[in-house]
């Protein structure tokens, strides 16, 4: 077992690696080599990455890919995607190509409200608290003017502050439920700074409020933090086409295809076990864009899954219907994304990704990202109801297996050719490699 180490973060990068290799890798120098292989030769760039977090010892690469041919609201996009799962970008590109000849994707932002809360304990008369809150509300808001000044210039700011009585759920529990518009920023720092200022102001104002008793004057702040649940920061994206323009397979007519597709979505509307995987597929597309554009994919994931269960049951984020022989497929999802601040100006690849998208504002990025999710879901359901998912997956996975066996370029070429007409399974690939090598 490795010994307890103190002051680790203060060690130099080389000393950190030395400690790690000594205590976890039996002094194996190969470990050092692997870590160093991923260092960037450009020292300034490496330092930038080192400083993103604490205790950085190397870089962890993800493929940075692009999915072309996305027609969104009449404009063509090539979407950047950072993801390791082999079939995701291929699926997105395929869906993009399919829909570009059928009017493309449409998208619109429905709302952009973000939320933060100050959670506090107040022991006393709740009516008095309400009167107190009304008396300080406007000063509470203006107490943040030093924080909100710049945001207001960019069209954002505090929308409202509400006092919420939660004391029936937990004794003496109240909140300031605050709503924000953070313009093109994701806004986490802005929101949290405002909330902490509200908390300070609240304590101060309560401590001198004449109508409060001694106990009522001592409000205890439990915490001040933004919420990643953003049901009012929502974007909708959709596609539609005449049923006859849908794929036709050996087994399914376009009408049967539409009905089977709809049924697959309906299943994800009633069956949580399916809904989670269905939404996971949507998030394959969404996370990849969120990561490539330097946004916080954990926040997006948390918000999306919470939204999927907003009516008390976890269900699909997409919807499908047939009306007057037209097939409609849509997604509604909260996406609190930013295109300024954070990594967007720091990370060269993030800058490039945003550039590739034509430097969108946050609303445009919400639309593009929702489309990536919808496209991904379309591609997944398309495979599931026709060939099954493994055919495409294993085709894309073939390269991973070949690399696992350190196949040479020549071996790869021969085996890729072979598997164009043969089913890829792990054992079959291994067998073919062995055959070639013998």
Taking alpha carbons only, the member of 130, 296, 297, 282 closest to residue 216 is 130
Residues 378 and 241: beta-carbon distance below 8 Å: no
Tokens of 429: 């690939």
| 352 DSSP 8-state letter | H
Please answer whether residues 282 and 295 qualify as being in contact, where contact means their C-beta atoms are separated by less than 8 angstroms.
no
Active-site residue among 13, 137, 280, 418?
A: 280
CA 175/CA 173 separation, integer angstroms: 7
Distance between CA atoms of 356 and 368, rounded to whole angstroms? 12
Closest contact distance (angstroms) between CB of 433 and ligand MEV is: 26
Residue closer to ligand MEV, measured from CB, 85 or 108: 85
Active site includes 85? yes
Rounded to the nearest 10°, the torsion over CA 125, 130, 136, 141 is 130
Residue list 268-327, contact with ligand MEV (CB under 6 A): 277-278, 280-281, 284
Q: Which strands, in side-by-side order, build the sheet including 234-242?
A: 106-109, 234-242, 326-334, 318-323
Which of 296, 347, 367, 397 is catalytic? The answer is: 296
Q: 287 an active-site residue?
A: no
Please name the residues in contact with 147: beta carbons below 8 A apart, sequence gap of 6 or more.
190, 193, 194, 197
Q: What is the DSSP letter of 42?
A: S
Establish how many alpha carbons lie within 13 A of residue 370's alpha carbon, considering only the half-sphere containing its beta carbon: 33
Number of residues that bind ligand MEV (CB under 6 A): 9
Query: Given candidates 389, 399, 416, 436, which one binds ligand MEV under the rule CB under 6 A?
Result: 389
Chain length of the chain: 438
Nearest-CB residue for ligand MEV: 281
Within 10 angstroms of residue 96's Cβ, the number of other Cβ atoms is 26
Q: Output the smallest distance, CB 104 to ligand MEV, in A.
A: 22
Give yes or no: 141 in active site.
Answer: no
Smallest gap from Cβ 267 to ligand MEV, in A, equals 11
Query: Residue 95 CB, nearest distance to ligand MEV (Å)?
Result: 12
Of 209, 173, 179, nearest in space to 194 by CA:
179
Active site residue: 85, 232, 411, 428, which one? Answer: 85
> Nearest approach, Cβ of 256 to ligand MEV (angstroms)?
20
Q: Which is nearer to ligand MEV, 274 or 321 (CB)?
A: 274
Binding mask 80-99 for ligand MEV (x = CB under 6 A): -----x--------------
Compare residues 382 and 432 and give the one whose CB is closer to ligand MEV.
Answer: 382
Q: Distance between CA atoms of 172 and 182, rounded to whole angstroms?
A: 31
Is 310 part of the annotated catalytic residue set? no
Q: What is the per-residue binding string for ligand MEV in 99-118, x denoting contact by CB under 6 A?
A: --------------------
Q: How far is the CB of 340 from ligand MEV (least distance, A)?
A: 31
Q: Do 248 and 260 contact (CB within 8 A), yes or no? A: no
Binding mask 233-272 for ligand MEV (x = CB under 6 A): ----------------------------------------
Helix locations, 238-271, DSSP H: 254-270
Query: Catalytic one among 393, 395, 412, 418?
Result: 393
Closer to ligand MEV at the Cβ: 202 or 239? 239
Confirm if 392 and 86 have CB atoms less than 8 A apart.
no
Q: What is the per-residue binding string for ligand MEV in 368-387, x denoting contact by CB under 6 A?
A: ------------x---x---
Cβ closest to ligand MEV, residue 349 vs residue 389: 389
CA 377, CA 268: separation in Å to the nearest integer? 11
In the complex, minimum distance from the CB of residue 309 to ligand MEV, in angstroms, rounded to a whole number: 18
Q: How far is the CB of 392 from ligand MEV (least distance, A)?
A: 9
Q: φ and ψ at 38, to 5 degrees?
A: -90, 0
- 105 and 235 Cβ atoms separated by less than 8 Å: no
Instruction: Output 408-416 pairs: Cβ under 8 A, ≥24 positions apart.
Output: 411/436, 411/437
Compose the 327-366 pattern: x for residues touching ligand MEV by CB under 6 A, - for all others.
Answer: ----------------------------------------
DSSP summary character for residue 357: T
- Just list the catalytic residues: 85, 280, 296, 393
Binding site for ligand MEV (CB under 6 A): 85, 277-278, 280-281, 284, 380, 384, 389
């Amino acid at each position: 077992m490795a010994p307890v180490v103190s002051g680790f973060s203060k060690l130099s990068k080389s000393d950190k690696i030395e400690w790690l290799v000594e205590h976890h890798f039996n002094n194996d120098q190969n470990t050092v080599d692997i870590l160093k292989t991923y260092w960037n030769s450009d020292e300034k760039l490496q330092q930038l990455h080192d400083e993103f977090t604490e205790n950085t010892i190397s870089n962890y690469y993800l493929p940075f890919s692009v999915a072309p041919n996305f027609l969104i609201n009449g404009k063509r996009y090539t979407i950047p995607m950072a993801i390791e799962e082999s079939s995701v970008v291929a699926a997105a590109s395929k869906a993009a190509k399919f829909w570009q000849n059928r009017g493309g994707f449409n998208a619109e932002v429905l709302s952009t409200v973000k939320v933060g809360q100050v959670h506090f304990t107040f022991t006393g008369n709740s009516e008095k608290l309400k009167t107190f809150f009304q008396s300080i509300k406007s000063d509470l808001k203006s107490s943040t003017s030093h924080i909100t000044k710049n945001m207001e210039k960019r069209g954002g700011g505090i929308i409202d502050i509400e006092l919420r009585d939660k004391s029936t759920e937990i004794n003496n529990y109240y909140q300031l439920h605050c709503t924000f518009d953070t313009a093109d920023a994701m806004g986490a720092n802005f929101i949290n700074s405002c909330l902490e200022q509200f908390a300070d102001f609240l304590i101060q104002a309560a401590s001198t409020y004449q109508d409060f008793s001694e106990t009522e004057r001592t409000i205890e702040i439990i915490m001040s933090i933004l919420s990643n649940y953003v049901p009012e920061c929502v974007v909708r994206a959709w596609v539609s086409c005449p049923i006859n323009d849908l794929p036709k397979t050996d087994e399914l007519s376009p009408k049967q295809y539409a009905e089977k597709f709809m049924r697959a979505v309906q299943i994800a509307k009633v069956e949580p076990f399916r809904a989670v995987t269905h939404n996971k597929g949507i998030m394959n597309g969404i996370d990849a864009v969120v990561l490539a554009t330097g946004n916080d994919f954990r926040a997006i994931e948390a918000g999306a899954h919470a939204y999927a269960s907003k009516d008390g049951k976890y269900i699909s984020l997409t919807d499908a219907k047939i009306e007057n022989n037209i097939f409609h497929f849509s997604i509604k999802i909260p996406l609190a994304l930013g295109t300024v601040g954070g990594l967007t100006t720091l990370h060269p690849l993030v800058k490039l990704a945003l550039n590739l998208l034509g430097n969108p504002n946050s609303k445009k990025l919400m639309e593009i990202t929702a489309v990536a999710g919808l496209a991904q879901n379309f591609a997944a359901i398309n495979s599931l109801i026709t060939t099954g998912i493994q055919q495409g997956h294993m085709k894309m996975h073939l390269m991973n297996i070949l690399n696992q066996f350190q196949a040479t370029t020549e071996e790869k070429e021969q085996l890729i050719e072979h598997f164009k007409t043969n089913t890829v399974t792990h054992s079959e690939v291994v067998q073919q490699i062995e055959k070639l090598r013998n």
